[in-house]
Amino acid sequence: MKILSVQERGVAWEMGIRSGDELLEINGNPIRDIIDYHFWAFDTPLELKVRQPSGLTLFEVDFPLDEEFGIEPDPISVQCCGNKCVFCFVDQNPQGLRPSLYVKDEDIRLSFLYGNYVTLTRVGQPVLQRIVDQQLSPLYISVHATDPIVRKKMLGIKGNDRLLEKIDFLARHKITMHAQIVLCPGWNDGEILQDTIDTLKSFYPAIASIAIVPVGLTRHRRNLPLLHAVTPQKARQVIAWHKAIHKSFRHAFGTGFLYLADEFYLLANARLPARTYYDDFVQIENGVGMVRDFLDTFAVITREMPTSIKPLSILVVTGSLAAPIFESRIVNKLAGIRNLAVKVRAIKNTFYGESVTVSGLLTGQDIAEQVSNEKKADIIMLPPNCLNESGYFLDDWTPENLQERLQIKIHATESHFDEMIAYMEKDTK
């Protein structure tokens, strides 16, 4: 494990460890990455074998290594996916985007650390054993279909990757897993979907949840297999099928186990499930329960909002799928605040194609072009999920670029409403 930086005058610095050094072993155990480091760093006393420019050096430490030790490891070198999944969104990106958007990660370490989904296609016994030995749990598994023939076709692999054997091994060793099915009409729906659910439920509680999400298709699908989007009618069919099976799981397991992504309910113009449907919201990062949590948070925050403020206009931009929810459940409630004007602007996704309707795939240039003719607002609020951790849209625009272009204050926070309250409180003074 290469050391990226060392805190000056920290413990590691005082011991003589420097950036660029490589931590090879702790108490004789090889250190490949930050997971190994944290796994072995608490069995005191510790003997560290470090490769330095001058050669190998042994350091002895008589206390657990925590953040006070003062080293920052190099980021994990991502292991990439070798599959050719028919629905892979990376293959549907246009040319000219930043390089990271073309990386197909398939790394169990990122699954454990950040909840990234992995297929396990290339995971062999040594990696499975590492998962068990270091209890890398929970993991997030992309299943899509358990039928070997269908799975091979969908993942673009030549042989049987023995997924169920791997899941069984992990389940027997008490590794918790959350599964994902990307629903592609005509590929893995109907009897194939039912068979997949029936197979996975046999691994409960090791498989703790399953999320079904609709396939996402962009206008940049060139020389790729023919796929069909989930239509409103298809969404209604899936919801009807799911309602009974979800109820049976709740009766048998005491948990819903199988959950639908919010997109199904929005596409079908159907009522969103109550909060209890989502249990602990274990699949919220997969778009399961995000809208419900958003609405419930808003219901709580509205109790703190003033009844009258100085004149303030807010433009909320979002994807076309969520816009009706904002209009009916948010704007109407805010209408009672005197001098506050809130408008929702549904942004058509011309960058990826208008079939892409979720807010997380909005780009700065689409927002700029479609908002430029709007009546000037005091502030524009962005959905926070359209920016990455570094504050960039998918097209490399930033909120600052957007603000400069539109000459309107731009805000993107974890909660639109926290920012609204801040502005309203400021304008009541």
Domains of the chain: which residue ranges?
Answer: 3-73, 90-288, 295-428
Topology of domain 295-428, CATH: Rossmann fold (3.40.50)
Q: Which CATH class is domain 90-288?
A: alpha beta
The dihedrals phi and psi of 230, each to the nearest 5 degrees, come to -75, 115
CA distances from 310 to 298, 343, 380 (A): 21, 17, 17
Sorted by sequence, the CB contacts under 8 Å of residue 385 that are 6+ apart come out as 359, 360
Q: Are the beta carbons of 262 and 321 closer than 8 angstroms?
A: no
Helix (H, G, I), strand (E, B) or coil at 250: helix
In this prediction, residue 67 has a pLDDT band, given cuts at 50, 70 and 90, of low
Q: Which of 147, 185, 178 is nearest to 163 (CA)?
A: 147
Pick the range with the lowest mean pLDDT from 123-137, 150-164, 259-273, 384-398.
384-398
**Stated pTM of the model:** 0.90
Query: What is d(CA 271, CA 273) in angstroms, rounded to the nearest whole number?
Result: 6
Using DSSP bridges, classify how beta strands 338-347 and 308-319 pair: parallel, antiparallel or unpaired: parallel
Structure tokens at 239: 């919801």
Hey, is 109 helix, strand or coil?
Answer: helix
Segment 65-90 shows an average pLDDT of 88
Do 295-428 and 90-288 have the same topology in CATH? no
pLDDT at 307: 83
Rounded to 5°, the CA angle 358-384-287 comes to 45
pLDDT at 279 over 80: yes
Burial of 142 (0-12, 13-18, 19+ CB in 10 A): buried
Q: What is the pLDDT of residues 4-51, one digit of tens each?
A: 999 988 889 999 999 999 999 999 999 999 999 999 988 788 999 999
Residue in 19, 110, 25 with CA at minimum distance from that of residue 71 = 19
Give the H/E segment covering residue 194.
Answer: helix 190-201
Interval 218-239 mean pLDDT: 95
Using the 8-state DSSP alphabet, how is residue 33 labeled?
S
What pLDDT, on the 0 to 100 scale, is given for residue 422? 65
List Cα–Cα distances, 133 to 39, 43, 175, in angstroms.
Answer: 10, 15, 10
For the domain made up of 3-73, the CATH class stated in words is mainly beta
Sheet holding 308-319, edge to edge: 338-347, 308-319, 379-381, 409-411
- Round to whole Å and give the CA distance between 239 and 277: 13
